[in-house]
C-alpha cells in the first residue's frame, strides 16, 4: 500500500505552546488518518520531530509499505538525509526513533516542501494551538 505523509509541528514562542500534526493521504487523495496533538510547552523542532514520528507510527499501523514523506521543515529533512547532524541532545532520541521507523518501510522518499504544499498538517497544528 502506498501513501503520502504530510507532517508539521509548530510552537507559539520557541519554546512555547506547541502542537504536532500528521496527515496520511492515500494514492486516490483520500485522508487515511489525521493525527494532531497538543504538546504543552516545547520547541518548534520537538514539535516537527513529534509530528513525523506520529505519522510514521500511524503509517506502520495502517500497513503502508511505500511512503512519500513531505515536511516543510528543511532542517528535519536535511538531518534525516544525513546532510546535517542532529546537534541537540534532546532531539537525538527522536532522530533515532525516526530512522528506525523509516527503515521498516519497503520504500521511503523524504522531501522538503513549501509550507503552502503542507496545508493539511499546518491547518491541524494551528487548529490545536488556537484551542489552547
Instruction: Delineate the domains of the chain, giving CATH numbers in brackets.
Output: 2-130 (3.30.420.10)
Q: pLDDT for 77-113, tens place per residue? A: 999 999 999 999 999 999 999 999 999 999 999 999 9
Computed over every residue of the chain, the mean pLDDT equals: 97
Q: Rounded CA gap, 64 and 56, in Å?
A: 9
Q: In the chain, which ranges are continuous DSSP H helix? A: 44-61, 74-80, 92-102, 119-130
Amino acid at each position: 500500500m502506498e501513501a503520502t505523509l504530510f507532517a508539521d509541528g509548530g510552537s507559539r514562542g520557541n519554546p512555547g505552546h506547541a502542537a504536532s500534526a500528521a496527515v496520511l493521504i492515500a494514492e486516490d487523495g483520500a485522508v487515511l488518518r489525521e493525527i494532531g496533538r497538543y504538546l504543552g510547552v516545547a520547541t518548534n523542532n520537538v514539535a516537527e520531530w513529534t509530528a513525523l514520528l506520529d505519522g510514521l507510527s500511524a503509517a506502520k499501523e495502517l500497513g503502508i509499505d511505500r511512503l512519500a514523506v513531505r515536511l516543510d521543515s528543511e532542517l528535519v529533512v536535511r538531518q534525516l538525509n544525513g546532510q546535517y547532524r542532529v546537534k541537540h541532545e534532546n532531539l537525538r532520541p527522536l532522530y533515532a526513533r525516526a530512522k528506525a521507523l523509516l527503515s521498516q518501510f519497503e520504500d521511503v522518499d523524504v522531501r522538503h516542501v513549501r509550507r503552502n504544499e503542507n496545508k493539511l498538517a499546518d491547518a491541524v497544528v494551528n487548529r490545536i494551538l488556537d484551542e489552547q
